[in-house]
A and B are shown apart, each in its own frame.
Chain A
Amino acid sequence: MQWEVVIGLETHVQLQTKSKQFSGASTTYGAEPNTQACEVSIALPGVLPVLNKQSVECAIKFGLAIDADIAPRSIFARKNYFYPDLPKGYQISQFELPVVGKGKITIQVPAGKNTEAYEKVINITRAHLEEDAGKSVHDAVEGMSGIDLNRAGTPLLEIVTEPDMRSAAEAVAYAKKLHELVQWIGICDGNMQEGSFRCDVNVSVRPKGTEKLGTRREIKNLNSFKFMLQAIEYETQWQIETLEDGGTIQQATILFNPDTGETRAMRSKEEANDYRYFPDPDLLPLEVTEADKTRVRADMPELPQALQARFTSEYQLSGYDASNLTSSRAVADYFVAVVNAGGDAKQAANWVMGALSAKLNAEEKTVAESPVSAGQLAALLKRIADNTISNNAAKQVFEGLWAGEGEVDAIIEAKGLKQVSDTGAIEAIINDVLAANQAMVEEYKAGKEKAFNALVGQCMKASKGKANPAQVNELLKSKLG
Chain B
Amino acid sequence: MALNLEDIKRIAHLARIEVSDTEAQETLNKLSGILGLIEQMQAVDTAGIAPMSHSQDVTQRLREDVVTQTNQRELFQSIAPATQDGLYLVPKVIE
Chain A interface residues (CB < 8 Å from chain B) = 17-19, 23-26, 32-39, 42, 44, 50-56, 73, 75, 80, 82-84, 97, 136-138, 140-141, 143-149, 266-267, 274, 276, 279, 281, 283-287
Q: With A146-B89, A148-B87, A286-B60 in contact, is A276–B53 under 8 Å at CB?
A: no
Q: How far is the CA of A42 from the CA of B72 in the complex (A)?
A: 11
Asked if B85 contacts A144 (CB within 8 A), the reply is no
Q: How far is the CA of A5 from the CA of B84 in the complex (A)?
A: 47
B95 within 8 A of A: yes
Select which of B60, B63, B65, B87 is within 8 A of A285 by beta carbon. Answer: B60
Please name 26 pairs of A and B residues whose Cβ atoms are closer than 8 Å in the assembled complex, sorted by A. A19-B66, A23-B69, A24-B68, A33-B87, A34-B76, A35-B86, A36-B69, A37-B73, A39-B72, A50-B63, A53-B63, A54-B65, A55-B65, A75-B54, A84-B90, A137-B87, A141-B84, A143-B92, A144-B89, A144-B90, A147-B87, A284-B56, A284-B58, A284-B60, A286-B59, A286-B60
Q: How far is the CA of A32 from the CA of B77 in the complex (A)?
A: 14
Q: How far is the CA of A145 from the CA of B90 in the complex (A)?
A: 5
Q: Is the interface of A mostly helix, strand, loop or mixed?
A: loop
Instruction: Select from chain A the residue with minimum beta-carbon distance to B59.
Output: A287
Select which of B56, B88, B95 is within 8 A of A34 by beta carbon. Answer: B88
Known: A19-B68, A39-B72, A82-B16; 17 extra A-B contacts, CB below 8 A, are A19-B66, A24-B63, A32-B86, A38-B69, A38-B72, A44-B76, A50-B62, A51-B61, A55-B65, A73-B59, A140-B84, A145-B92, A145-B93, A146-B84, A147-B88, A148-B87, A148-B88
Instruction: Select from chain B the residue with minimum beta-carbon distance to A24.
Output: B68
Asked if B53 contacts A285 (CB within 8 A), the reply is yes
Asked if A138 contacts B85 (CB within 8 A), the reply is no
Instruction: Select from chain B the residue with minimum beta-carbon distance to A73.
Output: B59
B91 within 8 A of A: yes
Instruction: Select from chain B the residue with minimum beta-carbon distance to A15.
Output: B65
- For the complex formed, measure the closest distance between the CB of B8 and the CB atoms of chain A, giving whole angstroms: 14
- For the complex formed, measure the closest distance between the CB of B40 and the CB atoms of chain A, giving whole angstroms: 21
Q: With A53-B62, A136-B93 in contact, is A25–B69 under 8 Å at CB?
A: yes
